[in-house]
Structure formats: C-alpha cells, structure tokens
Amino acid sequence: MIYLDYAATSPMTEAAIDAYSQIAKEVYGNTSSLHDAGGKAHFLLEEARAIIANKMGVNRDGIIFTGSGTEGNIIAILSLARAGKGRHVITSAAEHTSVHAAMNTLEREGFEVTKLSLTSDGVINLDELKGAIREDTVLISIQHVNSEIGSIQPVEEIANIASEHGIPYHVDCVQSFCKLDITQFSQKVDSITVSAHKIGGPKGCGAIYLNPRRRIVHVFPGVTHEKGIRGGTVDTPAIVAMATAVEQYKYHLEKHWQLRKRLKEIISDSPIDWIESQEEKQFPSICGLCIPGLEGQYVMLSLNEENICISTGSACDINSASGTKAIIAMGHTLSKARQFFRVSFGEGTTEQHIELLCTQLNRLATI
C-alpha cells in the first residue's frame, strides 16, 4: 500500500507507541489523585505540558490537553468569544469543519459571524480583514495551513491587526505544528490548536494554548480537570506519547519540496489542474489537484483499487456534498470543487511512491 493521506492522519511512530504502552502499563493513577500513584501521573502530565509549551514557544500555564484538534478548536473559540463584550466574530470560509461547528454554535447564540473569502492564491485578503473589523468584534479565528490545498495564511500580519484592535486571535495549527516554525508568531496570538496524530502521535489527543492573560468563559462550568477548561480524567499515556512524538518528529522541508516538484514534473503533460498558492505561501506536502471531467471521488476510488491512498479533502468533510470549502472560498465552481482531490506526503513517502502515483494519474487523465 502507498499511503499518501498524511494530512488526514499519520502512522504512530515506534517511540510514541512504546511510550504509550509503557505508561499505560506502569502509570495508571489519576493525575488529580493525591496518593503516590496519582502524583507520578501528575508529574508526567506536567512534564509533557512543558515539552509541548516549549515547542509552541508559549507559557506552559496556557497549555490545556484535549481529546482532539476538533475539540480544541471548539473549546478555544467558544471560551474566547463568549468572554467578549461584543457579538461579532471573524473567520474564513475555508476553515476546518470544527471551526465552522463552533461558529454555528455562536450564531445560534446570537453572534454574527463574518466569513472571509480566499484570493486566487488561497489566502485571505488583509484589507478585507481590516474592513470586516467592528467595534463589537470579539474574536478572529483564521488557520495557519489549510488542510485541503496547503496554503499558508499570513498569521503574523493577522496577529498584528488583531493586536492593534485589542481583539483575541485564535489560530488552528493542526497541520503546521512541528512542521513549520510557529514560534515566529506564537507570542502574538491568544490561542493555538494542535493535534498529536498528524505528527506520529496517538489519535484522540491534542492540546490548545489559551493566553493566561485573556479572560475566558468555561464551556462546561464546574468541571475540574485541566483548570476547569476541559473536563474528564486526562489520558496520561496518550499525552506522554504525544510529547514523545513532539520531541522526535522531524519534518524535512526540502524533501517535501522535491517530492512536490517531482509530482509536477511527471504529470506536467497531463490535463491535471493544480489548486495551490504561490511558492512562498505554499506548504509543500499538501497538494490540491483536479482532473477535468472526473469527480475527485472517482479518482480516489480508482487509486484505492491500485492500493494508493489519497483523499477528496479533509476527512472531517468526507460526507459533504458541496465539495471542499477551500475551493469554494477561492471562487471556483461547485463542479470544480467536486473534481478536487488531495495528495499529502509524510516522512514515509518516497520518490518511487510519487512515480507510481503519477502513472495512475496520467492513466486516469487520458480516460
């Protein structure tokens, strides 16, 4: 099997599996218990918190462990928006499904949500963002790397705009954490979401950073774990495994650019369209493609028959009938959106994998 769906999830590393297994067997105490078994678990929890905070470049007091990136986005957005004095929130039309879920909740509570479109490069227009800000704007939530086409949003510039207006800024870094340097802007934003399974950690584990200086309203008042922000006994084995993955994960940027360029080179003579940004705004290991006349789902299923795994976009949108959000936000037609499919590389991807993929793509493009 050739796995080319790393933007959906990645295999756990051996180190993360070993860490999970060891802690699950040996450290079974509740981190909130006051006996020695609980104390040992609590020590490992706080050690992991420090590791992840250090990688993010933020204060460890702001790190809250969650059950996923999805849960993290929802908790962060609702906690910050509900704490504001206004009822207006700004996001983009191409955010992850979990962000839109949080926005839907806020709209039901009487908030007004402005969803910015994307330019032909797949990024927001900063002037449009500035024009959308109102006196009652209480939150901006715009991702770092888009999970469908890999465009990189100008997070630092957005953070500066948000700061000028005193507006909290939440950024979804699930696709970029440990791959791009988020410490360049982490001190300027108020909330960050990350996930373990995109970097070789376990599924069902993530973390958010919430600026300790920002006022928040707890989504579930009365819970006690994780400073009352996220209730439930924490999954110590998963959290330690996540920290292990964070410490060991290596993203070889040049390797992924070479794979992307090789993919482009081999299919250059085929009528295959790329949905991408300019190179300086593009994350190399997420490739958005379309074969005119073929639905993305057909391409995906055809490749699956050849033991090649790709996707038609975010796994969280797999049942959507409207195509991918990023394509629509860029102004493409619904027909184009339905032709979309995504190829995403990981550390296990080789040039031979790309060549075998291209053989099948070229075949499909000539049907």
Residues 6+ apart with CB under 8 A from 332: 275
Q: Does residue 319 have a pLDDT over 70? A: no
Average pLDDT taken over every residue of the chain: 95
> Is 316 one of the annotated active-site residues of the chain?
yes
Confidence of residue 224 (pLDDT cuts 50, 70, 90): confident
In 3-state terms, what secondary structure has residue 56?
A: helix
Confidence of residue 324 (pLDDT cuts 50, 70, 90): confident
Backbone angles phi, psi at 273, to 5 degrees: -95, 140
Which domains occur in the chain, in start order? 2-9+252-365 (3.90.1150.10), 14-248 (3.40.640.10)
**Strands 340-344 and 308-309: what pairing?**
unpaired
Neighbours of 335 (CB within 10 A): 12
DSSP structure class, residue 184: G
pTM for this structure?
0.95
Measured in whole angstroms, the distance separating CA 346 from the mean position of its chain's CA atoms is 15
From 173, 205, 316, 358, active-site residue: 316
Alpha-carbon span 253 to 226, nearest angstrom = 34
What's the whole-number mean pLDDT along residues 54-81?
97
E runs forming strands in the chain: 2-3, 63-66, 88-92, 112-116, 137-141, 169-172, 191-195, 206-210, 273-275, 286-290, 308-309, 340-344
pLDDT, one tens digit per residue, over 131-152 is 999 999 999 999 999 999 999 9
Residues 6+ apart with CB under 8 A from 209: 53, 56, 58, 62, 63, 64, 186, 191, 192
